[in-house]
Structure 1
Amino acid sequence: MVKGKVKAGKVDCQAYAQTCQTADIRAYPTVKFYPYQGTKKNVFGEYIDSRDAKGIADLLNEKLEAIQNKGKRKKSRNKDEL
Structure 2
Amino acid sequence: MVEGKVKAGKVDCQAYAQTCQKAGIRAYPTVKFFPYERTKRNIWGEQIDARDAKEIATLIYEKLKNLQNHGKRDKDEL
- Check whether TM > 0.5: yes
Cα distance in 2 for partners of 1:41, 1:68 equals 17
Would you tell me which structure has more helix in proportion to its own residues?
1
Q: Distance in 2 between matches of 1:18 and 1:39?
A: 23
Q: What's the CA shift string for 1:6-39, capped at 9, x where partnerless?
A: 0001000000000000000000000000001111
Among the aligned pairs, what percent are the same residue?
74
TM-score, normalising length: structure 1: 0.85
How far apart in 2 are the matches of 1:19 and 1:71?
Answer: 29
Count of residues in Structure 1 that have an aligned counterpart in Structure 2: 72
Q: Which residue of 1 aligns with 2:52?
A: 52
Please, what is the CA RMSD of the aligned residues?
Answer: 1.1
Listed as ranges, the matches of 1:1-82 within 5 Å are: 1-71=1-71
Gaps of 5+ in 2: 73-78
Task: Letter of the 1:67 partner, please give it.
Answer: L
Quick one: which amino acid aligns to residue 53 of structure 1?
Answer: A
- Which protein is bigger by CA-based radius of gyration? 1
**TM-score relative to the length of structure 2:** 0.89
Structure with greater proportional strand content: 2
